[in-house]
Amino acid sequence: MFPIKTSYSLPTSEGKFGAVRTHDIHTGIDIYCEEGTEIFAIEPGLVVAVCDFTGQAAGSPWWNDTRAVMAEGKSGVVLYGEIDPAVKVGDPLVEEALVGKVKKVLKKDKGKPCCMLHLECYTHGTRTPVWWFLEQEKPGSLINPEFLLKEKTHHVDNS
Nearest one of 43, 55, 11, 41 to 29, comparing CA atoms: 11
Is position 6 within any domain? no
In a domain, 132, yes or no: yes
How many Å apart are CA 129 and CA 22, to the nearest integer?
Answer: 19
Residue range 84-120, pLDDT digits in tens: 999 999 999 999 999 999 999 988 877 778 899 999 9
pLDDT of residue 56 exceeding 50, the answer is yes
> What pLDDT does residue 32 have?
93
Tell me what pLDDT residue 23 has: 83
Please determine, for residue 48, whether its predicted confidence score (pLDDT) is greater than 70: yes
Q: What is the pLDDT of residues 9-45, one digit of tens each?
A: 888 788 999 999 888 999 999 999 999 999 999 999 9
**Total domains present in the chain:** 1
CATH number at residue 102: 2.70.70.10
Looking at the chain, the whole-number percentage of residues with pLDDT higher than 70 is 94
Q: Coil, strand or helix: which one is 102?
A: strand
Residue 81 pLDDT more than 90?
yes
158, part of any domain: no
Range of the domain at 94: 13-143
**Within a domain: residue 128?**
yes
pTM of the model: 0.91
CA angle (96, 126, 3) in 5-degree steps = 20
Dist. CA 119–CA 75, nearest whole Å: 13
